[in-house]
């Protein structure tokens, strides 16, 4: 499958039915994220509203991080942010479905939409409650 097809398929699917959407009370960590360029807003414990890319990315993230330790999640988040922001990226390990997010390169204006939840997640792990803006 072409990366662009995978990208479209995964993004559309996760935007239409976001996984693990809703409030987890109590949450292990929480943070709010805001991307003023697109209006994406999310509160981790995964709750938010945004464009297809930001919702799909957060949904994929919620699946990818479930059951992992903080250290693993931090390392994964950094990998994904690198993938989103670097033109030539070779993952240190198989990122699975998350690789679909690499397709965001075709839409530079959407990189911040896709990275928002990952930055927010890192902030959530760094402190009990954080507010993040991509600006
Ligand atoms: Zn967006």
Instruction: pLDDT tens for the chain, 135 residues: list them.
Output: 566 777 888 888 888 888 777 665 555 556 677 777 767 666 666 566 788 888 899 889 988 887 787 788 889 999 999 999 887 778 777 888 898 898 888 788 889 999 999 998 888 777 755 566 777
Instruction: Give me ligand 1 centre to Cα 78, in Å.
Output: 20
Instruction: Give me ligand 1 centre to Cα 41, in Å.
Output: 9
Report the CATH number that the domain containing residue 45 is assigned in CATH: 3.90.1010.10
DSSP E strands: which ranges in 18-112? 30-35, 40-44, 47-49
Instruction: Give me ligand 1 centre to Cα 56, in Å.
Output: 10
Instruction: Give me ligand 1 centre to Cα 113, in Å.
Output: 4
| pTM of the entire predicted model | 0.71
CA angle (74 as vertex; 72, 78 as ends), nearest 5: 115
Total of domains in the chain = 1
Domain coverage including residue 49: 3-133
């Amino acid at each position: 499958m072409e990366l662009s097809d995978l990208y479209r398929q995964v993004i559309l699917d996760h935007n239409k039915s976001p996984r693990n959407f809703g409030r987890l009370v109590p949450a292990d960590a929480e943070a709010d994220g805001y991307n003023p360029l697109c209006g994406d807003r999310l509160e981790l414990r995964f709750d938010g509203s945004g464009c297809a890319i930001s919702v799909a990315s957060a949904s994929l993230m919620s699946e990818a991080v479930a059951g992992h330790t903080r250290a693993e999640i931090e390392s994964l988040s950094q990998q994904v942010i690198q993938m989103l922001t670097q033109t030539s990226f070779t993952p240190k390990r198989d990122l699975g479905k998350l690789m679909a997010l690499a397709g965001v390169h075709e839409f530079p204006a959407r990189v911040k939409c896709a990275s928002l939840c990952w930055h927010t997640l890192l902030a959530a792990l760094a402190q009990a409650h954080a507010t993040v803006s991509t600006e």
